[in-house]
Structure 1
Amino acid sequence: MSTSAERSNLHLLSDVNLYIIFGITLTAVMGVSSIAPAFPSIADAMDVSAQQIGLLITFFTLPGIFITPILGLLADRFGRKIVLVPSLFLFGIAGTACAFATSFEQMLFFRALQGMGSASLGALNLTLIGDLYSGNKRATAMGYNGSVLSIGTAFYPAVGGALAVIGWHYPFFLSLLAIPVGLFVLTKLEKTGSNGGLNMSEIFSNVASSLVSKKVIPLFVGIFLTFIMLYGGYITFFTILLDEKFGQNSFWIGIILSGSSFMTAYASSQLGKLTTRFSEVGLIRTAAILYLSIFLMLPLVENIWWFIIPVIIFGAAQGINIPSILNLLTGYADKEYRAAFLSVNWVVMRTGQALGPYLLGLVYAGFSLDATFYAAAFAAGLFVISSVFFMKEEWYITADASMLEDM
């Protein structure tokens, strides 16, 4: 690394805006990963089935499917803070309220409110990086943010699992951390994104025309199928497998999920080096094949120690797949409607996140636990087909943030 690059990175790490973005990122991934290890305990406490417990993810993600594009339009028109501050406060208050729920129906209501608070966070954290940084600084900031995200998803299951050992409701108190993040956004974050030059209809028209690009659609398909597998096959029914077949408690389930996330963090940190040797499309294809092998493998494991292999492979696949897709999408997001464009991607992710537990829950109810992993493998197979036949490497070589056009 050159001396100038080192100075640039040191300057970046002294920027308070970057740490606020980290706080938003950590909040965005908290809503599911911190409570997933407690699913078996919550199911017992609320007297609901393993099939029903996945609704805690579905109700959390559904609001984002409908309101995230609206919030993205508002953030482009009036600025990021107008959307972020209320969102973070709602996330913290509603998430904490789940700890005091006296019925499963009441908990689902609070989860839906928390999901409304979460709806804009995952899109606006990336949007802020695009707003505040350019060139190498932007790439460096994206890398730092990806590492923070992976570390968060590594620690949250372990912390949530440990808290769930004390009581099922304790993991929900982690949501309170969103309140100070919201205060920092309000008082310290640089104001960005207010675009008085375009009205809402113009922003909507620009985003709509961008979404029909044949370069973008395969990336959306990839991220959708990834989240079907992640939240259906892995976070929901892999935890059920560890509980039902291997008798693991919430703490050890959290530790196992954390191991996968640490591998994701390492793989993400190596993405810069990998992309000097391999194309991002090639990395996405590799990840799709890894997903397929993992979900075909899970039903065959009889000794819990053998889970080390699929957990490591899954973490590596996540580390090269999701950042690659997000980087390609961000490269095509015009700054004038960046929040709205990335909000659509967040809707696609949320749709996969919501449908994964529900669809695989139907498979679980109608067939067996093993069948859920074969269904996830089917989704992985579709991802392989999409990445091989509908993603062309040459489309993404000259991606530029100022344009999105079909070839």
Structure 2
Amino acid sequence: MPPSQAVHGKEGQKLQIAALITLSSIPFIMVLGNSMLIPVLPTAEKALNVSSFQVSLLITLFSIPAAFAIPIAGIMADRIGRKKIVFYSLLLYGLGGLLAGFSSVYQGGSYTFVLISRIIQGIGAAGTSPIAMVLLGDLYQGEDRSKALGILEASNAFGKVLSPILGSLIAVITWYAMFFAFPLLCIPAAIALWKVIREPSKNEKPQPLQEYKRHIYKIFKRRGKWLSVSFLAGALMMFTMFGILFYLSDYLEKTYRVEGIFKGFILAVPLLALCVTAYLTGSHVKEQTHKMNKLIILGLILTTIATAATPWWKNAYWLVGCSFVIGIGSGLILPCLNTLITSAVGMQERGIITSLYNSVRFFGVALGPPVFGALANRPFILFLGLAFVLFIMIFLSHKFIDRPQRLRGKGGRSRLLLRKKRLSPV
């Protein structure tokens, strides 16, 4: 049980479940911000009378501001508290959706104001799921943290599974109806967060800013190699996952004219693989943290093989099958990276370190679709080139992400230590 939710008996169990459900709902809501919009982009292009590139900015100008704002949210979370940042970010995220909805209606639809609203929504997203991951890392300790982070990643993936289907269903009303869905989701989540979550009290006052900066510098000086490799691995997996989904969506529509809800169900297949694998991985490594580096390498090997195999046969079943394997690989890697990064740094610096990791992941999400789109007519260069990069990542992960050991501390807290040689009693 989280120490801050330390109420014994059935009431304590209810609080624990409520806290996990509340925090897991946040990445689910956040991921809808982009993924739910994808099925209606062609309709939005016609309604707003803009080009294909211009309508794609509705995705880009959500992800890029979020990626830049996440580290700022992380610093603020370290200094004024995670719960406050997530709460107000959810409200800003919902407000951005509401403004985008009204901008789509105003005078037949204002493209400029919709873009501005999406920027606001992206800034709000920066303080939602990334800081929820930090808060969950504070609330849960040891083996419980690994399982909880696996559930958080599974919730993120489950949002990706449902979002194309939900987007297609809501668009039956009108293409901009989904914008009004965001405040309806964000306000209850914010209220639940404020009432249910009891943020752990810090025993120490926030460090002076200069000392805080020096401490962050020391963390990267001591652990910069494996942290950097972990950051790159997370970004590369998001780049690959979102890129292959974009490629699959485009291929299904242009080759087989598969559109709407049916296409949403097909796109959900690799995301469902990610969702289930992430949950199982988080549950498995909670007791066996020493296996995390092996699972990361296994996930990278599966992803590399599936990526290299993709361009050889132009067949929908083959492409969906390769995407499914990539989903499994992502599900093996991401929960392990989440646990390593949140557990290997102290509570006072966890916000900025975890936020930097999520920021890099957002850049992967933002770059995947345009790169895959630009190289769609050169599939061998695209997929074999990406497989080569993934192969290099296998080598880097093997070299720098060592077998973790769990060190126990006071008050039931623990931290993961990564080093070549295992500690042994003298």
- TM norm. shorter chain > 0.5: yes
Amino acid at match of 2:238: F
> What is the deviation of 1:175?
1.3
Instruction: Supply the distance in 2 between the matched residues of 1:351 and 1:227 (Cα, whole angstroms).
Output: 9
Query: For the Cα contact (< 8 Å) 1:268–1:323, is it kept in 2?
Result: yes
Instruction: Supply the distance in 2 between the matched residues of 1:294 and 1:50 (Cα, whole angstroms).
Output: 30
Structure 1 residues 278 and 134, CA, compared in 2 at 3 Å: closer, same or farther?
Answer: closer
Structure 1 residues 406 and 44, CA, compared in 2 at 3 Å: closer, same or farther?
Answer: farther
Structure 1 residues 13 and 284, CA, compared in 2 at 3 Å: closer, same or farther?
Answer: farther
Question: RMSD value over aligned CA atoms?
Answer: 3.0
Q: Which residue of 2 aligns with 1:3?
A: none
1:304 aligns with 2:316: yes
3-state DSSP of counterpart to 1:398: strand
Instruction: Supply the distance in 2 between the matched residues of 1:277 and 1:183 (Cα, whole angstroms).
Output: 34
Residue deviations 1:366-388 (CA, integer Å, cap 9, x gap) = xxx23368435523421221222
Q: 2:235 aligns with which of 214, 224, 233?
A: 224
Unaligned ranges ≥5, structure 2: 1-7, 408-413, 421-426
Q: Which residue of 2 aligns with 1:178?
A: 186
Paired residue total: 395
Query: For the Cα contact (< 8 Å) 2:311–2:383, is it kept in 1?
Result: no
1:199 aligns with 2:211: no
1:131 aligns with 2:138: yes
Structure 1 residues 261 and 140, CA, compared in 2 at 3 Å: closer, same or farther?
Answer: same
Q: Which residue of 1 aligns with 2:359?
A: 347
Instruction: Supply the distance in 2 between the matched residues of 1:222 and 1:312 (Cα, whole angstroms).
Output: 19
User: More relative contact order in 1 or in 2 (CA 8 Å, sep 6+)?
Assistant: 1
> What is the deviation of 1:92?
0.9
1:119 aligns with 2:120: no
Instruction: Supply the distance in 2 between the matched residues of 1:170 and 1:334 (Cα, whole angstroms).
Output: 43
Q: 1:240 aligns with which of 247, 250, 263?
A: 250
Instruction: Supply the distance in 1 between the matched residues of 2:53 and 2:132 (Cα, whole angstroms).
Output: 32
3-state DSSP of counterpart to 2:205: coil
1:314-329 matches, cutoff 5 A: 314-329=326-341
Instruction: Supply the distance in 1 between the matched residues of 2:136 and 2:119 (Cα, whole angstroms).
Output: 28
Q: Which residue of 2 aligns with 1:250?
A: 260
Q: Which residue of 2 aligns with 1:265?
A: 275
Query: For the Cα contact (< 8 Å) 2:244–2:323, is it kept in 1?
Result: no
> What is the deviation of 1:354?
2.2
Query: For the Cα contact (< 8 Å) 1:12–1:137, is it kept in 2?
Result: no
> What is the deviation of 1:314?
2.3
Query: For the Cα contact (< 8 Å) 1:153–1:258, is it kept in 2?
Result: yes
Instruction: Supply the distance in 1 between the matched residues of 2:33 and 2:231 (Cα, whole angstroms).
Output: 22
1:50-65 matches, cutoff 5 A: 50-65=52-67
Residue deviations 1:167-213 (CA, integer Å, cap 9, x gap) = 32233333120122112223332134666241233233222332342
> What is the deviation of 1:344?
0.8
Q: 1:337 aligns with which of 331, 338, 349?
A: 349
- TM-score after normalising by structure 1: 0.85
> What is the deviation of 1:310?
2.1
Q: 1:86 aligns with which of 81, 85, 88?
A: 88
Q: Which has the larger radius of gyration?
A: 2
> What is the deviation of 1:60?
0.8
Residue deviations 1:267-307 (CA, integer Å, cap 9, x gap) = 12321576559832332233333333444444455443444
3-state DSSP of counterpart to 2:225: coil
Instruction: Supply the distance in 2 between the matched residues of 1:164 and 1:371 (Cα, whole angstroms).
Output: 33
1:201-216 matches, cutoff 5 A: 201-212=210-221, 213-216=224-227
> What is the deviation of 1:337?
1.4
Instruction: Supply the distance in 1 between the matched residues of 2:283 and 2:28 (Cα, whole angstroms).
Output: 25
Q: Which residue of 1 aligns with 2:20?
A: 18
Instruction: Supply the distance in 2 between the matched residues of 1:394 and 1:28 (Cα, whole angstroms).
Output: 29
Residue deviations 1:58-111 (CA, integer Å, cap 9, x gap) = 211111232221211111111123312221011112123333422444332221
Structure 1 residues 373 and 19, CA, compared in 2 at 3 Å: closer, same or farther?
Answer: farther
Query: For the Cα contact (< 8 Å) 2:91–2:124, is it kept in 1?
Result: yes
Amino acid at match of 1:336: Q
Query: For the Cα contact (< 8 Å) 2:170–2:178, is it kept in 1?
Result: yes
Structure 1 residues 10 and 90, CA, compared in 2 at 3 Å: closer, same or farther?
Answer: same
Amino acid at match of 1:63: P
Query: For the Cα contact (< 8 Å) 1:62–1:350, is it kept in 2?
Result: yes
Query: For the Cα contact (< 8 Å) 1:228–1:379, is it kept in 2?
Result: no
Unaligned ranges ≥5, structure 1: 1-6
Q: Which residue of 2 aligns with 1:188?
A: 196
Structure 1 residues 47 and 380, CA, compared in 2 at 3 Å: closer, same or farther?
Answer: farther
3-state DSSP of counterpart to 1:216: helix
Query: For the Cα contact (< 8 Å) 2:78–2:206, is it kept in 1?
Result: no
Percent of aligned pairs with the same residue?
25
Q: Which residue of 1 aligns with 2:4?
A: none
